[in-house]
Chain A
Amino acid sequence: MRRFLLPALLALALPAIAVPALAADAKEYTLTLRKNRFVPAQLTVPANTKVKLIIVNEDSTPEEFESHELNREKIVMGKGKITVWVGPLKPGRYPFFGEFHMDTAQGVLIAK
């Protein structure tokens, strides 16, 4: 059974190693977390192209940037900064939120 499992798992793992990073010259946008809110709460980005989101947490407590529509989930520590690649997106609205402060940390990405 082992002799079968190993190739199976390798097959799963290999693409991760083989495919090089895809983003070279994407546009960069910054979202700031301030007092558990996203600033700006509405961000317009170009559609049909890869976009680099920088999320800067000015608060001292951790937050989790999350969006079901964008299929993204990433923790940003207090006073920390993360990069989240999104897209290419079809034109439309993509809500996102901070999972640790859902009552205030709400925002939407608009792809045009």
Chain B
Amino acid sequence: MLGNLLLVFREVLEAALIISIVAAATRGVPTRGLWIGAGIALGLVGAAVVAAFAGAIGDSMSGMGQEWFNAGVLLAAVVMISWHVVWMARHSRELSMQMKAVGTAVSQGSRPMTALLVVVALAVLREGSEVVLFGYGLMASGASMASLVGGGLIGLALGVAVGLALYFGLLKIPVRHFFSATNALLVLLAAGLASSAAGKLVQADVLPTLVDPLWDSSWLLTDESVVGNMMHVLVGYTAQPSGMQLVFYAATVVLLLIGMRLSGAPAPAKAAQSPAPRALA
């Protein structure tokens, strides 16, 4: 039962942290609950579908289909986060001055909420499909339903609790800095996902490692610890990353910072007196 609990907790934790960041980043959007709920629902359906076709996915691409699929899912999330972050940079001024503006932008249909819906759905899909396969295996091997459901539910509750803690922690950030903070978190999240994608492509043997490992910080923080797990989601921490992972990580951060700066640069007439780059997180 403890094993079930830990596995479910780990997977739920990863999705829950991502959902928390998205929930914080969409603070003030009146319909965000619907968007996030729809993202979770789509993700759950996707997880079941992916689990059902896991064999076929894995056998494709000369046996490297799993790696390609995961890399694709991760990079799609990176694209969606990038889209949102760059959009936010353009509107950061209004947003920090008045939370209401976000709602207005959404009702005008200009804020890319679909992007964040996809981010949530992909996170749930990725982690959920593993839980489904794990649970299926347990049921097929005749494990007791009580241990399965009990462990699963406690793991789920713990994962959600950590996600909520992060969310309410983020809400304590002063409004003035709030969207800079959530934007910075989204940039790091995107970079971490890009780094994971690089890891998958290295595993598929289509990218070289460059250096492997680039460093080993497992003496400080192991990947399997809960904190290591959280840092993995939040900032892309890996105890033994390859050089290629760092390249993807750094490229994502740099490109997003440039994208945010450029998108924030063409100042609306009203804001022309302020030369400060307000786009950077």
Interface size class of A (residues with CB under 8 A): 35 or more
Q: Which residue of A lies closest to B71 (CB)?
A: A16
Nearest-CB distance from B224 to chain A (Å)?
6
Q: Which residue of A lies closest to B263 (CB)?
A: A1
Interface residue A72 (Cβ < 8 Å from any Cβ of B): yes
Is the contact region of chain A dominated by helix, strand, or loop, or is it mixed?
mixed
Interface residue B178 (Cβ < 8 Å from any Cβ of A): no
Q: Contact at A85–B87, with CB atoms within 8 Å?
A: no
Nearest-CB distance from B254 to chain A (Å)?
9
Q: Which residue of B lies closest to A103 (CB)?
A: B3
Q: Contact at B82–A85, with CB atoms within 8 Å?
A: no
Interface residue B208 (Cβ < 8 Å from any Cβ of A): yes
**Which residues of chain B are within 8 angstroms of A84 by Cβ–Cβ distance?**
203
Q: Contact at A71–B212, with CB atoms within 8 Å?
A: yes
Q: Contact at A69–B240, with CB atoms within 8 Å?
A: yes
**Which residues of chain B are within 8 angstroms of A102 by Cβ–Cβ distance?**
3, 6-7
Q: Contact at B90–A1, with CB atoms within 8 Å?
A: yes
- The distance in angstroms between the C-alpha atoms of A82 and B251, with both chains bound, is 31
Interface size on B, residues (CB 8 A): 56
- The distance in angstroms between the C-alpha atoms of A18 and B166, with both chains bound, is 40
Q: Contact at B130–A61, with CB atoms within 8 Å?
A: no
User: Do A68 and B223 contact each other (CB < 8 Å), given the known contacts A16-B71, A61-B137, A100-B7?
Assistant: yes
Q: Contact at A75–B133, with CB atoms within 8 Å?
A: yes
Nearest-CB distance from B186 to chain A (Å)?
14
- The distance in angstroms between the C-alpha atoms of A85 and B206, with both chains bound, is 11
Q: Contact at A19–B208, with CB atoms within 8 Å?
A: yes
- The distance in angstroms between the C-alpha atoms of A74 and B202, with both chains bound, is 13
| CB under 8 Å from chain B, chain A span 1-59 | 1, 4-5, 8-9, 11-13, 15-16, 19, 21-23
- The distance in angstroms between the C-alpha atoms of A21 and B203, with both chains bound, is 11
Q: Contact at B224–A68, with CB atoms within 8 Å?
A: yes
- The distance in angstroms between the C-alpha atoms of A11 and B223, with both chains bound, is 29
Q: Contact at B212–A80, with CB atoms within 8 Å?
A: no
Q: Residue A77 contacts which of B55, B87, B194, B241 (CB distance < 8 angstroms)?
A: B55
Is the contact region of chain B dominated by helix, strand, or loop, or is it mixed?
helix
| CB under 8 Å from chain A, chain B span 216-248 | 218, 222-224, 238-242, 248
Q: Contact at A83–B82, with CB atoms within 8 Å?
A: no
**Which residues of chain B are within 8 angstroms of A72 by Cβ–Cβ distance?**
203
Nearest-CB distance from B40 to chain A (Å)?
22
Chain A CB count within 10 A is highest, among B137, B224, B251, for: B137
Q: Contact at B207–A19, with CB atoms within 8 Å?
A: yes
Q: Contact at B75–A12, with CB atoms within 8 Å?
A: yes
Q: Which residue of A lies closest to B90 (CB)?
A: A1
Q: Residue A4 contacts which of B71, B203, B259 (CB distance < 8 angstroms)?
A: B259
**Which residues of chain A are within 8 angstroms of B141 by Cβ–Cβ distance?**
60-61
- The distance in angstroms between the C-alpha atoms of A108 and B248, with both chains bound, is 29
**Which residues of chain B are within 8 angstroms of A62 by Cβ–Cβ distance?**
54, 133-134, 136-137
**Which residues of chain A are within 8 angstroms of B55 by Cβ–Cβ distance?**
77, 80
Nearest-CB distance from A13 to chain B (Å)?
7
Q: Residue B63 contacts which of A16, A19, A83 (CB distance < 8 angstroms)?
A: A83
- The distance in angstroms between the C-alpha atoms of A71 and B239, with both chains bound, is 9
Interface residue B33 (Cβ < 8 Å from any Cβ of A): no
Q: Contact at A5–B86, with CB atoms within 8 Å?
A: yes
The 9 closest A-B pairs by CB, nearest first: A61-B137, A8-B255, A1-B263, A68-B223, A77-B55, A62-B133, A1-B86, A85-B205, A4-B259
Which of B's residues lie within 8 Å of A, judged by CB? 3, 6-7, 54-55, 58, 63-64, 66-67, 71, 75, 78-79, 82-83, 86-87, 90, 130, 133-134, 136-138, 140-141, 194, 199, 201-203, 205-208, 212-213, 218, 222-224, 238-242, 248, 251-252, 255-256, 258-259, 262-263
